[in-house]
């Protein structure tokens, strides 16, 4: 995957979102803001969050939340996980997001958008509700509704939006210079064919902050808790995950079962030298003669450090269980019939 364009986009997106969220926060916090009149509870939560943390941390958090959601929705659009495109147009030659174009024609999915929000969206689009940016406001309501809808299936990504996160949502989402326009340009259909794009976007998004943190270390500045993720959470590409799992858990499995065909499925497995293999086999043989249970490969997902490693470990675990069931069947059949293959 070519990541140069993704890196430029992610770094630009972070700077732009921080600027937009900061401006929105300043507007919301003014004494005469519409948010204080219409959403007093959300504003109160925002003020409490700022007191508990800081204004800078809240801006950083909200900016990343919206970056994460916009990128996820674009990925889902391209791969047709959404019924209607949420941040993408219906056709390449168009510019307006499909869900907004459909709403302007009177079509809004009742399963996704509740009655109250649906009425407000129609009122905005028909000019019956006062607004300086009716299409933009209607579209933001649609995006919030979609995020809340996907909360049922993916709560880890789409937390329900009913607080200040919505208040600080960027205003400009429809112009040619909006963050969504740049998202569509960077996340092309070809790039979105590879799920690793999400991991790379996160690493590039946080890269400038990571550089700041390490630059501070050179000046004897301690890493504060809120900066730990930027310094420690790095994306692990698929091939590295496979290499690590196949040459640890995979090797242990093969040492226990030299006749296993698992090696043919492990593209990154490095066969040990003969002396090393014999030494490991002797250790396992000695262990097998003791009363304790023989060494087995039981990769538990909770011990793996990344989602990719957990998935790979689970795959190996399923292979082990399947192999054990077959071995058990063969053993029972051999004891009963004294021959192979199994009789029907």
What pLDDT is recorded for position 15? 97
Total-model pTM: 0.74
Res 141: pLDDT? 96
Q: What is the pLDDT of residue 300?
A: 42
CB 117 within 8 A of CB 143: no
Residues in the chain, overall count: 344
Q: DSSP letters of 14-34?
A: HHHHHHHHHHHHHHHTSTT-H
* Domain ranges across the chain: 4-217, 238-333
Task: Dump the DSSP string for 252-277.
Answer: HHHHH-TT-SGGGG-TT--PPPHHHH
What pLDDT score was predicted for residue 279? 62
pLDDT value of residue 1: 77
Say if residue 298 is preceded by a cis peptide, omega within 30 of 0: no
Please give the pLDDT value at position 311: 60
- The pLDDT assigned to 332 comes to 43
User: Given this model, what pLDDT does residue 137 score?
Assistant: 95
Maximal C-alpha separation, the chain: 88
As averages over each run of 10 residues, the pLDDT of the chain (344 residues) reads 91 97 96 91 93 93 95 97 96 92 96 94 95 95 95 89 87 95 96 92 92 87 83 83 93 90 91 66 57 46 50 60 49 37 30
Residue 228's CB: how many other CB atoms inside 10 A? Answer: 11
């Amino acid at each position: 995957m070519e990541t140069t364009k993704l890196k430029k986009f992610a770094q630009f997106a972070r700077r732009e979102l921080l600027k937009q969220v900061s401006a929105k926060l300043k507007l919301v916090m003014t004494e005469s803001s519409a948010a204080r009149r219409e959403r007093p509870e959300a504003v109160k939560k925002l003020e409490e969050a700022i007191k508990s943390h800081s204004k800078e941390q809240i801006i950083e958090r909200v900016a990343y939340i919206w970056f994460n959601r916009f990128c996820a929705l674009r990925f889902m659009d391209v791969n047709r996980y959404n019924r209607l495109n949420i941040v993408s147009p219906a056709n390449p030659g168009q510019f307006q997001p499909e869900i907004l174009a459909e709403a302007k024609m009177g079509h809004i999915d009742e399963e996704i958008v509740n009655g109250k929000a649906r009425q407000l969206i129609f009122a905005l689009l028909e000019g019956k509700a006062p607004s300086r940016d009716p299409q933009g406001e209607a579209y933001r309501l649609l995006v919030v509704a979609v995020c809340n809808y996907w909360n049922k299936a993916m709560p880890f990504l789409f937390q329900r939006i009913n607080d200040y996160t919505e208040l600080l949502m960027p205003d400009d989402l429809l112009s040619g210079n909006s963050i969504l326009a740049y998202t569509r340009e960077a996340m092309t259909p070809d790039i979105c064919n590879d799920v690793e794009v999400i991991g790379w976007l996160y690493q590039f998004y946080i890269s400038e902050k990571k550089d700041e943190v390490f630059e501070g270390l050179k000046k004897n500045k301690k890493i504060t808790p809120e900066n730990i993720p930027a310094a420690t959470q790095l994306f692990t590409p698929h091939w590295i995950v496979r290499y690590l799992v196949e040459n640890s858990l995979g090797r242990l499995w093969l040492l226990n079962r030299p006749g296993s065909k698992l090696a043919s499925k492990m593209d990154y497995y490095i066969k040990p030298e003969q002396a090393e293999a014999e030494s490991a086999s002797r250790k396992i043989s000695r262990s097998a003669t003791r009363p304790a249970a023989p060494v087995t490969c039981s990769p538990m997902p909770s011990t793996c450090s990344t989602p990719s490693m957990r998935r790979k470990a689970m795959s190996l675990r399923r292979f082990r269980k399947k192999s054990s069931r077959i071995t058990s069947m063969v053993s029972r059949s051999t004891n009963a019939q004294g021959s192979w293959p199994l009789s029907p």
